[in-house]
Amino acid sequence: MNDFFVMGGYGAYVWSSFAIFFIVLIIDFIAPLLRRRRVLAELRGRIKRQQKRPEALA
């Protein structure tokens, strides 16, 4: 098992590469979720403001 982490002495290079790969993919996964939340909140805010002032609909 230890051999697996040592990777023939190249452990630091191999594991940092795989870490970068998956960290970037996780960011890529989260970014649209956060943006979706922001867009929906913005839309709800806009709807609320329009409900307060119906004449602003036009």
The residues binding another protein (CB under 8 A) are: 4, 7-11, 13-14, 16-18, 20-21, 24-25, 27-29, 31-33, 35-36, 39-40, 42-44, 46-47
Specify the 3-state DSSP secondary structure of 53: coil
Q: Among residues 16 and 54, whose Cβ is nearest to another protein?
A: 16
Residue 51 CB, nearest approach to another protein (Å): 11
Q: Among residues 31 and 55, whose Cβ is nearest to another protein?
A: 31
How many Cα atoms sit within 13 Å of 20 on the Cβ side? 6
The C-alpha atoms of residue 24 and residue 30 are separated, in whole angstroms, by 10
Question: Running DSSP on this structure, what letter comes out for residue 7?
Answer: G
